[in-house]
Amino acid sequence: MATAQDVVNRAARLIEATASGEAPTAIESSDALIAFNDLLDSWQADKLLVYALVDTPFTLTPTTASYTVGPAGNFALTPRPQRLVDAFVRITGSQDLPVQLVEEDRWSAITQKNSASDRPIFGYYEPSMPTGTLLLWPVPTAAYDLHIVTWAPCSELASLATTLAFPPGWRRALAYNLAVDIASEYGVSVRPGVAQIAVESKATIMRANHRTMIMYTELGL
């Protein structure tokens, strides 16, 4: 399995900073690791470049409509997610019913927020710090399991020896895009073919992560 050093070595070869069979110096590799982590950090901002989704369950407390999300929260997630991708209530082991996540304006349009039902239909997430808050409507009266789906961030690489665990296509995209990122530090130009593959390989993993959007009616309808 590839390590961060393997990707750094390939990136250096792609911009012809090193020859075949050679490796960057220890200092050059250390600098490239910083660029590598910056690249992963920048990709976290785009959900189409997040390679996994995490499903986190929590058993609802009857008559409680507010739940915390983040470190030491009801949904104990570190780091605190900036947004929720999806939510659903598991009624039985094989029956899941969706909880529609709405924006602030649609949440504010619900006038009777203390209305109760066995399960929630809508949810509003406020990404406050240090923990976010998930509000549910109607107020649930049954202790069903609520599942929230969040982005799995690309973790920072601790060292050049860190083993990479990415889906197919990611290693190529990382090597070519890292090559483009570090070229200026080496004082070299990126060959057109390398730049093109960087764009194409990034687009490939974005397409793989694409999920079809579902249309919902307005609350009043």
**For the segment 100-127, what is each residue's pLDDT rounded down to a tens digit?**
999 999 999 999 999 999 999 999 999 9
**Tokens representing 53?**
């989704």
CA dist., res. 63 & res. 49, Å (int): 38
Sequence letter at residue 152: A
pLDDT value, residue 168? 80
pLDDT of residue 214: 47
Residue 125 has a pLDDT of 98
Q: What is the pLDDT of residue 216?
A: 45
**Per-residue pLDDT, 41:** 84
* Exposed/middle/buried for residue 218 (C-beta within 10 Å: 0-12, 13-18, 19+): exposed
pLDDT confidence of residue 93: 76
Written as one letter, the residue type at 36 is: F
List C-alpha distances in Å: 76 to 71, 199, 208, 215, 216.
Answer: 5, 36, 28, 30, 29
Residues of the chain with pLDDT under 50: 213-214, 216, 218-221
Contact 56, 77 (CB under 8 A): yes
